[in-house]
């Protein structure tokens, strides 16, 4: 239902006992989205030379719009939305497969960290792989000045 919004979309079933009358809570739905982020990063790094720069989530924000119950068919999706020199933002969602009602919508800011240096620029080969997955170029966002004259 949201295939036009996200680059990668997967089918899944909400975890847990379908006989229970308890909905999935925030950390359960976020785990489903975070696992997709991990799979996206692994796919982007596939076949690339090892680098000391490791992707790490810097900030995650999300909204919970509808409930879902264990055993319900769901879909989840993710896309790279934007980037700067040292960070990129992914948008991800989890929704009901039957009618598209969004359960969980997330924004995940990802930085790249070299343990000996701290935050570093996104490796060029990794970003080329992300753009290949996305099927489009994602330019570095220009910084806007926060000072006034």
Both tokens of residue 62?
Answer: 């999300």
d(CA 91, CA 79) in angstroms, rounded, equals 5
pTM: 0.90
pLDDT in tens, 67-97: 999 999 999 999 999 999 999 999 999 999 9
pLDDT tens per residue across all 149 residues of the chain:
788 899 999 999 999 999 888 999 999 999 999 999 999 999 999 999 998 999 999 999 999 999 999 999 999 999 999 999 999 999 999 999 999 999 999 999 999 999 999 999 999 999 999 999 999 999 998 766 666 55
The beta-strand segments (E) located in the chain are: 8-13, 54-64, 73-83, 87-96, 102-114, 118-120
């Amino acid at each position: 239902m949201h295939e036009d919004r996200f680059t990668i979309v997967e089918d899944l079933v909400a975890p847990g006992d379908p006989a229970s009358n308890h909905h999935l809570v925030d950390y359960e739905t976020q785990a489903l989205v975070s696992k997709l982020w991990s799979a996206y990063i692994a796919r982007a790094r596939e076949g690339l030379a090892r680098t000391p720069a490791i992707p790490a989530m810097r900030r995650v924000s999300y909204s919970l719009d509808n409930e879902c119950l264990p055993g319900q068919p769901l879909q989840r999706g993710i896309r790279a939305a934007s980037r700067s020199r040292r960070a990129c933002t992914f948008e991800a969602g989890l929704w009901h497969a039957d009618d598209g009602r969004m359960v969980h919508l997330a924004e995940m800011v990802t930085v790249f960290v070299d343990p000996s240096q701290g935050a570093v620029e996104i490796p060029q080969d990794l970003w080329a792989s992300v753009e290949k997955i996305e099927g489009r170029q994602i330019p570095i966002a220009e910084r806007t000045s926060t000072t006034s004259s």
